[in-house]
Amino acid sequence: MHIKVHKKVFLPILILALAVLIFLFLKSMKSAPQQKPIEHQPPLVAVSEIEWGNWPIHITAQGIVKAKRSIQLAAQVSGQVSNLSNDFYSGGLFKKDQLLVQIEQADYQTEVKSAQAQLARAQAALKEEQARGKVAEVEWQDIKQQASDLALRIPQLETEQANVQFAQAQLERAQRQLQRTRIQAPFNAVVAARYVELGSYLNAGSVVADLYATNVAEVRLPVTLQQFEFIQPSTNQVHFAPVRVRLNNTQGKPASWQAHLVRSEKVVIEGNQTIVLVAEVDDPYNFKQGHAKALFFGQYLEAQIPLSGLGQTARIPRYLLTARQTLLVENNQRLFIREPNIAFKDSQYIYVTDGLSAGDRIITSALSNAIDGSAVRVHQSGSAKEDK
């Protein structure tokens, strides 16, 4: 009975142990799979040829249109305003010598008449004295003696001549004062502001209007010192040969005007280290129809200024310049990190004078880990082929 019980217990254990031993034996006889070596291929990059040339390069600068000449027009005589031009308002246009304001003339006309009468009296007194002098001269000729100047009434004659000159000067002054009651435009102008009304009383020196000359406008354009060196290589003159620039409207419908840089202000602004160039526009209000449209004072413009003096440069898209100011290039299927000599940058490109080697092609692909001298594969643009 006990023997049967032991057989029932140990027989399954023996069978399980035997199965484990057979499994382990078979496993040890199985050969490990052959592992293939991992192939590391060089990264695939896109490249473009580097183009050299004497590129037309422009910089942009912003400024506000101002009048080249502007004045505060003031009265030269006192009096009440008796008349105003119908065009005398802010924005009114006037030609040279056109009347803006008329001051009451009555008192000044009276002064002219008074001066005229005084001159007539002085001229009559002079004639009378001249006649007396002739009589005295004849009398002394009869006496046949040497007569003194006083006897010949020469001092009296000179006094009357001086009186005539004084009266003439007084008349001229009265006429000038009368003329000054007419306040006229000293040049072709637009009224920027008006300060008087009909019936206003003006003193000599009272400002009646702000006038801007309409023949020439100016735009002050700040540029950096580096940009200035390319615009005006010689810095020993304030004036230089005019440089043609284009002024573009940045508000509303696109429009442009031709202008010329005529001078620099030759003072560096301390805060941002810029220098101001001055561009002039002839006939800004387009009276001669030389522009597509009128240009108004106070208008905000953007100028395109051509640069010169760079010579032959490589033009490379600016986004390809790394944060360390280097370029990634491919040469004979190798990647190289170049440190270019950048002559100029604009919003889209960098212009390189040297620092590149013959055979370099610029890498346009994004690389996460660029190693100088490492191998690369070049993707052929426009096909699926690769340089292997």
| E-state strands within 214-291 | 216-224, 239-249, 256-269, 274-282
* Structural domain contains residue 41: no
In whole angstroms, give the CA distance from residue 325 to residue 301.
Answer: 32
pLDDT of residue 386: 41
Say if residue 209 is in the same domain as residue 88.
Answer: yes
Residues 169, 188: one domain?
A: no
Residues 81 and 207 in one domain: yes
pLDDT score recorded for residue 346? 83
Q: Does 297 lie in the same domain as 246?
A: yes
Number of domains in the chain: 4
CATH number at residue 230: 2.40.30
Same-domain check for residues 363 and 333 = yes
CATH number at residue 203: 2.40.50.100
> Within this chain, do residues 188 and 268 fall inside the same structural domain, yes or no?
no
Judge contact between 195 and 273, C-beta under 8 A: no
Decide if 324 is inside a domain.
yes
Q: Which of 306, 323, 341 is the last residue of a domain?
A: 306
**Residue 7: inside a domain:** no
> Which residue, among 183, 222, 229, has the nearest Cα to 71 in the 3D structure?
183
3-state secondary structure of 91: coil
Residue 195 lies in a domain: yes
Task: For residue 136, give the amino acid letter.
Answer: A
In a domain? residue 338 = yes
Shared-domain flag, residues 221 and 301: yes
Q: Measure the CA–CA gap between 83 and 101, rounded to whole angstroms.
A: 6
> Going by C-beta distance under 8 Å and a sequence separation of 6 or more, which residues neighbour residue 83?
101, 102, 198
Domain that holds residue 74: 69-104+184-213
Q: What is the pLDDT of residue 231?
A: 80
Q: How many C-beta atoms surround the C-beta of residue 200 within 10 A?
A: 16
Whether residues 99 and 120 fall in one domain = no
Domain end, chosen from 288, 306, 324, is at 306
Same domain, 370 and 240: no
C-alpha 79/C-alpha 183 separation (Å) is: 12
The domain that holds 358 is classified in CATH as: 2.40.420.20
Determine the Cα–Cα distance for residues 302 and 230; give it in Å rounded to an integer: 19
User: Among 154, 179, 204, which residue terminates a domain?
Assistant: 179
pTM above 0.85, yes or no: no
Does 164 map to a domain? yes
Judge if 73 and 191 occupy the same domain.
Answer: yes
Does residue 261 share a domain with residue 230?
A: yes
Tell whether 82 and 208 lie within a shared domain.
yes
CA distances from 169 to 118, 126, 165, 173, 222 (A): 11, 16, 6, 6, 52
> Is residue 62, in this structure, part of any structural domain at all?
no
- By C-alpha distance, which of 266, 98, 97, 298 is closest to 193? 298
**Is residue 332 in a domain?**
yes
Instruction: Report the pLDDT value the prediction gives residue 266, as an integer from 0 to 100.
Output: 83
**Under 8 Å between Cβ of 276 and 269:** yes
Amino acid 29 reads M
> Would you write out the chain's pLDDT as a tens digit for each of its 388 residues?
445 545 565 667 777 777 777 767 676 665 555 666 666 788 899 999 999 998 888 888 999 999 999 999 999 999 999 999 999 999 999 999 999 999 999 999 999 999 999 999 999 988 888 877 676 666 666 666 666 656 557 788 888 889 999 999 999 999 999 999 999 999 999 999 999 999 999 999 999 999 999 999 999 999 988 888 878 666 566 566 778 899 999 888 889 999 999 888 888 988 889 999 999 999 999 999 999 899 999 999 999 998 876 788 999 999 999 989 999 999 999 999 999 999 888 888 999 999 999 899 999 988 888 889 999 999 865 332 344 4
The one-letter code for the residue type at 282 is D
